[in-house]
Amino acid sequence: MAGALETYYDVLFRPSTAFARPLSFGLGALTLLLISAVLALSSGGTDSVGLWLVFLALAAWAIFTWLAGGAIAYILARAWHAPVEPGPFYAALALATLPWLLAAPLGVIGAWGAAGHTIAGIGGLVVFVWWLVELVLAVRGAGGMSTGRAIAVLVLSAVLPLVLPALVLTFGTLGLLAVLAG
């Protein structure tokens, strides 16, 4: 297995190669913690307690969304009979977030006035698109599926947590009204 820095380089600059091989679940979790720490340090806080709280909040949110969103994506990939192993699949999803490390320097550039805001905004858009491409390549590589199915898995895993509660509330309310109207 490749070292962490070599894996990071491959994920950022040769993602098809990186996501085609099994990746370490532990390295994925460590990556999320690293990104959370960098983003906390770039938050502009100077109070050490405040930085710790920002880091803990970012890390907790990153781990929660990684595990919950990854579970939905994993179930969808398995539903399409993709040869998915959970550890490498989760690791690929976590490592796909590496482009967000560039958000820290963009935040510093954004403090340089109007021109800095423009550069940071364009840079943020580039990082966002880069992250989406990395996610598609991660699901495609770790899931052994086509690009179209990888996109479908990602879109459905983003939409289902929003749509399912709305459907349950809607039909639950309609059912309750029907019972009350009797």
Chunk the chain into consecutive blocks of 10 residues (it has 182) and report each block's average pLDDT, rounded to whole numbers.
85 92 92 88 72 87 92 92 90 94 85 88 94 95 92 93 86 86 80
Instruction: Provide the whole-model pTM.
Output: 0.83
| 97-117 burial: b if 16+ Cβ within 10 Å, else e | bbbbbbbbebbebbeeeeeee
Beta-carbon contacts of residue 146 (< 8 Å; ≥ 6 apart)? 140
Distance (Å) of CA 155 to CA 47, 111, 134, 162, 163 = 39, 34, 14, 11, 12
Phi and psi torsions of 45, nearest 5°: -75, 150
